[in-house]
Structure 1
Amino acid sequence: MSAVESSKAGRDSDAGGGKLSSMSKGSFVFTSMALHSLEADADILERHRYKQRLASHHLLSYRLKKEASKRVPLRSSMFLKPAMCQDVVIQNAVYTGNLEAMQRLFPRGSTANLIIEPQGGEMRWAARGEGLWSLTYEQELTMPLHITAGRGFADCLKFLLQRGASVDLAPGGITALHESCANCESECTKLLLVHGANANAVSEDGRMPLHLCTTPESFECAKHLLQYGGAINGRTVDEDDTPLHVAARNGLPNHIELYLRYGAAVDKQNDEGLTPLNAACSQPQELQDLQRYFKVCQLLLKAGADLHTTDQDKHTPLHMACKNVNADLVDLLLANGACVNNMDYGGEAPMHNILKVVCYKIAHSPERIVRALLNHGSIRVWPGALPMVLKHCSESPRTIEVLLNAYSHLKVNDTWVEAVSPEVFKEHKEFYESVFSLQLTPRSLQHLARYRLRAFLEGRLDKVVPQLHMPTFLKNYLLLDYRGYIH
């Protein structure tokens, strides 16, 4: 190719994609397909350059607007730093939610960012130097915004926000949003979020607002937080708990359902190795709380929670449910495949956990748990330890009945008689007389037949017995139903 042709090709190239075809034909030999590809590449390049110019235009426009907004004079309250407030009149208006008084006390141009040091509080020991300690009131700094948010004074809170109160200030280690969530004030929670409060602000003790939703009444607060970007899997600093851990530990089925819908991780472990399921099972439960915790665990299992995960001490959810004597929950875990004979670090199975607390939880029907464990193949108590078990569990005759019916024969002696206090014997005289009579008589043939059949079906009783073609009362007898006496 001559110098003239080369120079012409260079000029054609600078002219753009429109002359690509003529340049190509005059310089090289191209196929029609190659020419089409080159033209397409040129078109893509031109569109890319257009997008770059457009993006530069938008960026310049954004910067100009930002610079303009910086030059707009703000309200004076936005420039003022938080100031200490010791004015009793102002404090009284804030603490009582007196909107009319606050409108007079906070005129336009004044700052709403006042720091208040409450008087009183809880007593605590504080170091005063050189090994000296004294009792002082534990005082945490607060602000009008925090007080109104925590007490549910929505009108006052809205007024303070209009006066320029900063939503994320935390002089006492927590924000106003923490206060409203801790006190279940859903209207105030939403108001703060609408005005830009950080839904994931971390308090001094390492908790986000979602971690403070610990009661059924806090459900609406939790819902607002998630709608405004609350971190569904956010962790606490100290325990590494997620909101799902907190809800499970407090027995909050509605919260659990909400969090799962927002994608909460169901098997995250905290610093103690607890998953939300473990946390729910390990929490001490009063009689009125049993169904709430049962519902929580039901939801978690349905969402795929692993019931074999153990904590640092090798406790499974079944260990914990037995310790807290939640019979419905034990049935649920067993129905989903929980292992009845897993040992913890102390060498104890779930059966040990339930027997240790029978006397404290008689109202929780501990006999149901002992029966369920035995019917699912649990290990039995060493016969030599039965007098000790009798001593600690005698106030629950049904528990004793279920335990004793798991043996073909019993070596009843005076130690057994001494293990039952006179008061308990008097209250359950007929039952314990039937137990002590075994000192002189063997077990009945009917019981021995039951024992042999149970031994043959061990580990399958709960599945096989319901399918047997026999009367219901015989099925119940095989599954250690209660009769009120030993024979």
Structure 2
Amino acid sequence: MSRHSFVFSSRSLRSLELEREALERDRLHRRYQSMCVARAESFKPRGRGTLGPEPGFLCEDPLVHNALFTGDNQRVRQLFSNKWPQNLMLLASGHDLEWHSKKPGIWSLCYKQEFITPLQITASRGYDKCLQHLLTSGADVDFAPGGKTALHESCENSQSECTRLLLTYGANPNSISEDGYTPLHLCSAPESLRCAELLLRFGCNVNSRTEDKGDTALHIAARFALESHVQLYLDHGASVNRLNESGQSPLHCVCAQSHSSQDADRYFRVCHYLIEHGASVEALDEEKQSALHLACRTVNYRMVDLLLSKGIDVNRMDYGGNAPMHKALQAVAYKLEHEPERTVRSLLNYGSIRIWPGAIPKVLRFCCQSPRTIEVLVNVYDRLKVTDDWVESVPLKVLQEHQDFYESLFALSQTPRSLQHLARCAIRRHFEGHCQERIPQLPLPTFLKDYLLLQFQGYIS
């Protein structure tokens, strides 16, 4: 009966469409199976190390999968002789999710199926004996059906012995993955240092760039604060001032990367090493941010002190009109464990712009959990008009937690600043933006020098 000669309901029409889709899917599946059978029968040995005529033979045998994924060297030797297909592929679950439909009208979110090779499996898991057998049996060392070679996998997983084997058997150290990465770009863990050394020994280009961001290996090593990698790349001629697509140099990358307080020293050492080897502290990225802007945003006071000591402009504005001080204050509430008051103090001692007194209530709202930051900001003024807005800007919980400090702060509404503080302001005003340089040279006791440099007291006097 024709659909044009009978009135179908919308539900009936949908059922017909689903049935048609199921029939088409079943037809394609049978065709695919017949092609796989034809491929399997077409493989004939042509001498030692020679393999079938058609690349991309798909293997779904669970015994093969199990032997490779568990690193069973004995079983791998039994299954993979000199007659095995050179470009054998397997299906495995990737890292990305996508929608699949196994039954008409039913969809599920599953991990995307990716093509991988026996070399990729063994190289990524460090099964060097299995890998060596596959290589000696004639495996294509640069075969990459899923977009990454076995060398990419071994470097990404820091498998140095597998990396050595692959390079020895002719793997291309400059091969580019589907995502635009060379194996050297994937050496992003401290344990991958040996892999990076091997790649460079076998002729890898240390200044090659990723396709998406234009990063070099030095950008990546700086971003993750890999000290040994940074030294290795610079020793092999890495360009210390090369910019990526965002206009960032490796120095920008190390200053911009958010990190824990436990890693602060490591990031500082990488920053110091880059500057020692000629990194420009005045370079600006596409948003006109200097390394100081980025270091203030991550609130690493060691890096901030280092950059300021190199003469970087402490008051340069970026495209958004923010000076480094603004970046530091914006991050205070989120970086309390980094002691943000140290960053703010350093900026002020090197001549940073002060906060407009009318904006102090707003600063109190965002930075009140760091009383020392408020103390430093207030102590650069010889007088301030404390209003009710100041009190209302600090939550009751914070007031109770830091009661002594805020009582001393709000007492300024009725009490003038001490003569000692007024003298401090006069001396700092005399030195303008050179307090950090000039005050330590004064013939004064250490405690007075510290006081002039805004040493923390925990209260306002």
Into which bin does the TM-score normalised by the smaller protein fall? 0.7 to 0.9
Please give the residue correspondences for 1:283-362 in structure 2 after superposition, counting only pairs within 5 Å.
283-362=257-336
Is the Cα contact below 8 Å between 2:127 and 2:162 reproduced in 1? yes
Report the CA distance between 1:75 and its aligned residue.
Answer: 3.0
> What's the offset of the Cα at 1:458?
1.0
Q: % of aligned pairs identical? A: 52
Shift of residue 79, structure 1, vs aligned partner: 6.0
Q: Is residue 52–residue 86 contact of structure 2 (8 Å, CA) maintained in 1?
A: no
Aligned residue for 1:274? 248
Taking the aligned partners of 2:84 and 2:231, their CA distance within structure 1 comes to 45
Maintained 8 Å contact 1:326/1:364: yes
* 1:92 partnered with 2:66: yes
Larger Rg: 1
Structure 1: which amino acid aligns with 2:405?
F
Partner of 1:36: none
Deviation of 1:121 after TM superposition, in Å, equals 5.5
In the alignment, structure 2 segments of 5+ residues that lack a partner are 1-45
Q: Contact 2:48/2:82 (CA < 8 Å) preserved in 1?
A: no
On the 8 A contact 1:200/1:230 being kept in 2, the answer is: yes
In 2, the alpha carbon distance for the partners of 1:164 and 1:466 equals 70
Distance 1:89 1:99 in 2: 13
Deviations 1:288-332 (A, max 9, x none): 221121111111000000011111111110000000010111011
Shift in alpha-carbon separation, 1:119–1:174, aligned structure 2, 3 A: closer
| Alignment match of 1:390 (pick from 358, 361, 364) | 364
Deviation at 1:133, TM superposition (A): 8.6
- After superposition, the Cα gap between the structure-2 partners of 1:92 and 1:133, relative to the gap in structure 1 and judged at 3 Å, is closer
Q: Provide the residue aligned with 1:215 in structure 2.
A: 189
Q: How does 1:10-409 map to 2 (within 5 A)?
A: 75-77=49-51, 81-119=55-93, 122-125=96-99, 135-409=109-383
1:84: Cα distance to partner? 1.0
Aligned with 1:418: secondary structure? helix
Kept in 2, the 8 Å contact 1:149–1:180? The answer is yes
Q: For each residue in 1:313-354, what CA deviation from the matched residue of structure 2 results, as whole angstroms up to 9, or x when unmatched?
A: 111100000000101110111111111100000111000001
* Stretch deviating more after TM superposition (376-385 or 441-450): 441-450
Superimposed CA distance per residue, residues 427-466 of structure 1 (whole angstroms, 9 cap, x where no aligned partner): 1111111101100111111111100110000111111111
Alpha-carbon distance in structure 1 between the residues aligned to 2:93 and 2:239: 42
Please report how far the alpha carbon of residue 136 of structure 1 lies from its aligned counterpart in structure 2 after TM superposition: 4.1
- Distance, in Å, in 2 between the alignment partners of 1:126 and 1:411 is 66
TM-score when scaled to structure 2? 0.87
Q: CA deviation at 1:114?
A: 1.0
Question: RMSD across aligned C-alpha pairs, in angstroms?
Answer: 1.8
Asked whether the equivalents of residues 390 and 419 of structure 1 are also in contact (C-alpha less than 8 Å), the reply is yes
Query: Does structure 1 retain, via aligned residues, the 8 Å contact 2:175–2:183?
Result: yes
Question: Matched residues in 1 for 2:295 and 2:165: separation?
Answer: 40
* Residues 343/358 of structure 1: CA separation in 2 closer, same or farther (3 Å cut): same
Report the secondary structure of 2:115's partner residue. Answer: coil
3-state SS of paired residue (2:281) = coil
Deviations 1:78-98 (A, max 9, x none): 866341111110111011000
Task: Check the 8 A contact 2:93/2:114 in 1, yes or no.
Answer: no
In structure 2, how many angstroms separate the alpha carbons of the residues matched to 1:367 and 1:96? 52
Aligned length: 413
1:267 and 1:125, CA in 2 relative to 1: closer, same or farther beyond 3 A? farther
3-state SS of paired residue (1:458): helix
1:281–1:324 CA contact under 8 A, matched in 2: yes
Secondary structure at 1:138 match in 2: strand
Q: Which moved more, 1:440-449 or 1:369-378?
A: 440-449
User: Would the aligned equivalents of 1:145 and 1:176 in 2 still touch at CA under 8 Å?
Assistant: yes
1:417 aligns with 2:352: no
Among 384, 396, 401, which residue is 1:427 paired with?
401
Match of 1:137, as an amino acid?
A: Y
Q: Find out whether 1:445 has 2:422 as its counterpart.
A: no
How many Å apart are 1:106 and its aligned residue? 1.3
Contact 1:112 1:160 in 2 (8 A): no
Greater shift in the superposed pair: 269-278 or 132-141: 132-141
C-alpha displacement of 1:127: 11
1:135 match: secondary structure = strand
- One-letter code aligned to 1:191: L
Aligned CA distance change for structure 1 residues 120 and 171 (closer, same or farther; 3 Å): closer
Corresponding residue number in structure 1 for 2:19 = none
Gaps of 5+ in 1: 1-71
User: Given the superposition, is the C-alpha separation of residues 439 and 240 from structure 1 closer, same or farther in structure 2, using an over 3 Å criterion?
Assistant: same
Q: Is the 8 A contact 1:77 1:163 kept in 2?
A: no
Q: Name 1:65's counterpart in structure 2.
A: none
Encode CA deviations 1:389-418: one digit per residue, 9 max, x unaligned.
Answer: 011111111111100000010100111111
Query: How far off its partner does 1:134 sit?
Result: 6.5
Q: In 1, distance between residues paired with 2:382 and 2:165?
A: 69
Secondary structure at the counterpart of residue 269 of structure 1: coil
- TM-score, normalising length: structure 1: 0.82
Matching residue's letter, 2:442:
L
3-state DSSP of counterpart to 1:339 = coil
CA distance in 2, matches of 1:230, 1:78: 31
Contact 1:86/1:116, CA 8 A, preserved across alignment: yes
1:378 is paired with a residue whose SS is coil
